[in-house]
Structure 1
Amino acid sequence: MRTGAWAAAAPLGLVILVGGAMSSTEATGAVSPTASRPYPTDVPAPAVPYEGPSTGCALPDPTGTGGCVTGATAWMLGQVDHAFGQLPTSCWDAHAWNPTSDHPRGKGCDVTFGRLGDFPGPADTARGWLLAHWFEANAEALHVSYVIWQGRIWSSSRDDEGWRAYSGGGVYDASEPTGGHYDHVHVSLED
């Protein structure tokens, strides 16, 4: 069980702790968040819930891709800006090589930490975990389906399993900086 901290087991046994203490269960990556836990004090303020309708990919992508995003995605981007300031983010993309991607549906975004194609340093890795845990903590409010960062994946439908190893889903090489999502946090929304 958690002991007041939001932590994540990173690849190669490295544990990134964003404040507080951690149990040995958490160090192994077997993190089991519960719905009754209080909002963590070591991540930025909670997001304001999205209460708008499901819009489909109908709004211009504010990240400048020339594509579209859903209403929930546009709301989430505003909440990220409010909590973290503007981060290097890209949402809509055709992703022709991945027919199951949420990017062309306007409900997937990537936030880069460090430089794309490179493994980030410790400070960028810690900042990425902070954002990843913020998405996890605000999953219900922002309609987050899943988050991928540092070779790990968390999904709302498997919340009880915590952060699991990310395999690349048969599309990406999970050992590479971009394929394993080491250089960017990916967030997908339900709508």
Structure 2
Amino acid sequence: MTGRGRATARPGQPGRRAQALCGAVVVALALGAGVLWQASTSAPGSAAAGVAVAVTAHPAPWSGELPPPPARYPGAATGCTLPDPTGTGGCVTGAAAHLVDQVGSAVGNMPMTCWSEHAWNPASDHRRGRGCDIFVGGAGQFPAGADLADGWRLAEWVRAHAEPLKVTYVIWQGRIWVADRAAVGWAPYDGGGVYDATDATGGHFDHLHVSVRD
């Protein structure tokens, strides 16, 4: 209805007062359940990519001892000017190079790759040298057991030390954690309109994606 005339309830439909009451009850229930309504308007590959519209705050389904804290990144923004230490032949930012070094010190030699042209996703942080993927178990596989626990251990370590590592967001196991919205926790990841979030790789089940600042 687009006019300003008096609205009349149709047969079988509630009036305005009943609708308002129902709306208030729904809002109260949503608040009581701790649901955070948050629309994502960012392009895929940005810090907010893939955050679902309705998000329930939730911690990681893992707890345990984390590796020692990393060294703080001491430098300023560099842009994509340093050789990628993961051997792609591309470039990375200073913060990304520091991330590679600190992950290696914390958990040892895990398969890791940073720079990529990512022609299918022009907004990707990989092509800007500020996104890295750390593979857990076999590529294209859904990890389980010790591999899954190792992945969560690393993901929680990165999340816990996001500030000194200059991390902006982490994607792992179909979930995304965004530094600017840390209170949300590990929110559902929907693929950002680019990836199939149910796929082992598209949903980031077989690897962690970590993005850092310039």
- TM-score past 0.5 threshold: yes
Q: What aligned pairs does 1:123-142 form with structure 2 within 5 A after superposition?
A: 123-142=146-165
The Cα shift of 1:76 comes to 1.1
Match of 2:194 in 1: 171
Q: Deviations over 1:11-59 (max 9, x none)?
A: xxxxxxxxxxxxxxxxx962379xxxxxx97211111110202111111
Partner of 1:30: 57
Q: Residue by residue, what CA displacement relative to the aligned partner does 1:121-177 show, whole Å, maximum 9, x if unpaired? A: 221111111111011011000100000000010010110100000000000000000
The DSSP-based 3-state class of the residue aligned with 1:187 is strand
Q: Is the 8 A contact 2:57 2:183 kept in 1?
A: no
Which of 1 and 2 has greater Rg?
A: 2
Is there any run of 5+ residues in structure 1 with no aligned partner, and where? 1-27, 34-39
Q: How does 1:1-191 map to 2 (within 5 A)?
A: 30-31=57-58, 42-191=65-214
One-letter code aligned to 1:101: S
CA distance 1:116–1:32, change in 2 (3 Å): closer
**Identity across the alignment (%):** 57
Amino acid at match of 2:204: H
User: Could you list the runs of 5+ residues in structure 2 that have no partner in the other structure?
Assistant: 1-54
Measured in 2, the distance between the counterparts of 1:80 and 1:165 equals: 24
> Residues 170 and 177 of structure 2 are in contact (CA less than 8 Å); yes or no, is this contact kept in structure 1?
yes
Report deviation, 1:106: 0.5
State the SS of the aligned residue for 1:130. helix
Q: Runs in 1 of length 4+ with deviation above 4 angstroms?
A: none
Q: How many residues align?
A: 158
Q: Which amino acid aligns with 1:84?
A: V
TM-score computed with the length of structure 2 as normaliser: 0.71
